[in-house]
Amino acid sequence: MKKLKEYIRSIPDFPEQGIIFRDITSMLQDADGLALAVNKLRDEVKDLDYDIIVGPESRGFIFGVPLAYAEHKPFIPIRKKGKLPCETISVEYDLEYGKGILEIHKDAVSPGQRVVIVDDLIATGGTTQAMIKLIEQLGGVVVKLCFMIELKDLKGRDKLKGYSVSSLVSYEDD
Instruction: Just list the catalytic residues.
Output: 59, 96
Calpha distance 54→39 (Å, rounded): 17
Contact between 80 and 103 (Cβ < 8 Å): yes
DSSP output for 103-152: EEETTSS-TT-EEEEEEEEESSSHHHHHHHHHHHHTT-EEEEEEEEEEEG
Instruction: Indicate the SS3 state at residue 93.
Output: strand
Name beta bridge partners: 26: none
Calpha distance 81→102 (Å, rounded): 6
Measured in degrees and rounded to the nearest 5, phi and psi for residue 66 equal -65, -30
**Per-residue DSSP letter, 4:** G
